[in-house]
């Protein structure tokens, strides 16, 4: 079980504060479990994790094996939850530089359709030159502007390289089971397709084919991912007390918000966690930021960002709190070497493991920020492996649902997202948006 340490919020909060909201938390969790709250038609994610391999998972793995055997590069086309979850999983498990040295049998994986940058498109074209590639296009509708533009261009590249029939074998659609432009295209063109359950919104879809196919192509064991998520579903929904880390995290962050802490900084000490921070930002930002409410989510990478945002966190406006993410040390250790001249003055660390240095940096930062008036929640994930990945995803999804109901908002809609689209479509002259 993930461990949540709230010992560094006391002073900003008190135990009576926490005990006073126990019934609120219990009610929010029950509302989510019973499906009686707003947005209850988007609760399909709650029961996605399963203990045994399903037929859908077998199809996903079979498709991934084909892609791995026949592709130097695999391109995932999607935006929002359609790319943040799978990219977060791959970079957390394999690092930010996971593509270096890969090729057919273990393909490079790139993400497209999440930007309108011409420079980014030109770079992707360059990376695909002379490479065998396949792609997954992920969209419930198939008409979202950014991925639709990217998919149109990549589909043309595939057809030019392999012909129409050859290209159709290299396109995998992940979409609504019955409706939408992408479902129609997949049916007419004969592409292999996987479903996004209609009751699972995009930011809660990482444990569907949306996340599982890219993970499997990357060589992550999706059966273990789902096993970890299943164990989390079983345990975190069963325990209804402050022994449940979901209750601690959701409850304390809402209490801090009520005490004027309107910004949450999620700090990880692993560079590979950076995109997981991006996935967390979307999950909580879109779920809670509405009706004039919401904790503003920001993710940072320590120790790097201590040299950029550290001053602001230490002595800036006191409207922030931190959630620090920690993992167990890896099995393979690195040791600080010695130097005869010692001009850098580091010989006092010679022979010490790098993880020991990292731990002291964490402890020193924790103490400094708490002393500076920043409440800190520590989330200890334990060992980092495929099962933990599944547990982590489910943990934060469940926390988000409970937290949003505590806040008094619908966790599963995002009405504000449409406003920029309407303005953009009008400026682009899209039919139907003239006024």
Query: How far apart are the C-alpha atoms of 24 and 405, rounded to whole Å?
Result: 9
List pLDDT tens digits, range 165-186. Answer: 999 999 999 999 999 999 999 9
pLDDT of residue 417: 80
With contact defined as beta carbons under 8 Å apart, do 170 and 162 qualify?
Answer: yes
Verify whether residue 421 is a known catalytic residue.
Answer: yes
pLDDT of residue 332: 94
With contact defined as beta carbons under 8 Å apart, do 324 and 376 qualify?
Answer: yes
Verify whether residue 430 is a known catalytic residue.
Answer: no
Q: Which residue has the tokens 């990357």?
A: 218
From the candidates 146, 286, 322, 391, which is the catalytic residue?
A: 286
pLDDT of residue 430: 84
Q: CA angle, 154 as apex, 153 and 155 as ends, to 5°?
A: 90
Distances (CA, A) of 384 to 57, 204, 230: 22, 21, 17
From the candidates 3, 293, 421, 430, which is the catalytic residue?
A: 421
From the candidates 307, 317, 341, 434, which is the catalytic residue?
A: 307
Verify whether residue 161 is a known catalytic residue.
Answer: no
Which residues have CB under 8 Å from 13's CB, separation 6+?
252, 255, 256, 259, 375
Which residue numbers in the chain have pLDDT < 50? Answer: none
pLDDT of residue 299: 97
């Amino acid at each position: 079980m993930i461990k949540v340490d709230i010992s560094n919020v006391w002073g900003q909060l008190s135990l009576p504060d926490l005990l006073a909201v126990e019934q609120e938390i219990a009610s929010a969790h029950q509302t989510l479990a019973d499906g009686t709250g707003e947005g209850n038609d988007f609760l399909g994610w709650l029961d996605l994790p399963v203990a045994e391999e399903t037929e859908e998972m077998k199809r996903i793995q079979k498709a991934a094996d084909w892609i791995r055997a026949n592709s130097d590069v695999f391109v995932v086309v999607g935006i929002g939850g359609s790319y943040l979850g799978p990219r977060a999983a791959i970079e957390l498990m394999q690092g930010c530089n996971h593509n270096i040295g890969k090729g057919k049998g273990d393909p490079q994986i790139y993400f497209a359709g999440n930007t309108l940058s011409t420079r980014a498109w030109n770079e992707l074209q360059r990376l695909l030159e002379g490479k065998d590639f396949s792609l997954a296009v992920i969209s419930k509708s198939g008409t979202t502007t950014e991925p639709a533009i990217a998919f149109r261009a990549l589909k043309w590249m595939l057809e030019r390289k392999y012909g129409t029939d050859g290209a159709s074998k290299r396109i995998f659609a992940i979409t609504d089971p019955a409706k939408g432009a992408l479902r129609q295209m997949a049916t007419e063109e004969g592409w292999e397709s996987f479903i996004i359950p209609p009751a699972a919104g995009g930011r809660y879809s990482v444990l569907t084919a949306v996340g599982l196919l890219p993970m499997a192509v990357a060589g992550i064991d999706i059966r273990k991912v789902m096993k970890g998520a299943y164990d989390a579903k079983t345990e975190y929904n069963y325990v209804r007390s402050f022994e449940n880390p979901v209750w601690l995290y959701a409850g304390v962050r809402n209490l801090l918000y009520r005490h004027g802490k309107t910004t949450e900084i999620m700090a990880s000490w692993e560079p590979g966690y950076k995109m997981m921070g991006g996935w967390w930002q979307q999950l909580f930002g879109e779920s809670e930021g509405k009706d004039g409410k919401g904790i503003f989510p920001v993710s940072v990478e320590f120790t790097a960002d201590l040299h950029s945002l550290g001053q602001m966190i230490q002595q800036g406006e006191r409207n922030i709190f931190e959630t620090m993410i920690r993992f167990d040390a890896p099995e393979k250790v690195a040791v600080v070497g010695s130097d005869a001249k010692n001009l850098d003055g580091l010989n006092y660390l010679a022979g010490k493991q790098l993880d020991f240095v990292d731990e002291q940096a964490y402890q020193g930062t924790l103490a400094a920020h708490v002393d500076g008036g920043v409440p800190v929640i520590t989330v200890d994930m334990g060992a980092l492996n495929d099962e933990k990945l599944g547990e982590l995803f489910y943990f934060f999804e469940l926390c988000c649902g409970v937290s949003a109901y505590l806040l008094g908002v619908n966790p599963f809609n995002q009405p504000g997202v449409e406003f920029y689209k309407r303005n953009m479509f009008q400026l682009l002259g899209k039919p139907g948006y003239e006024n």
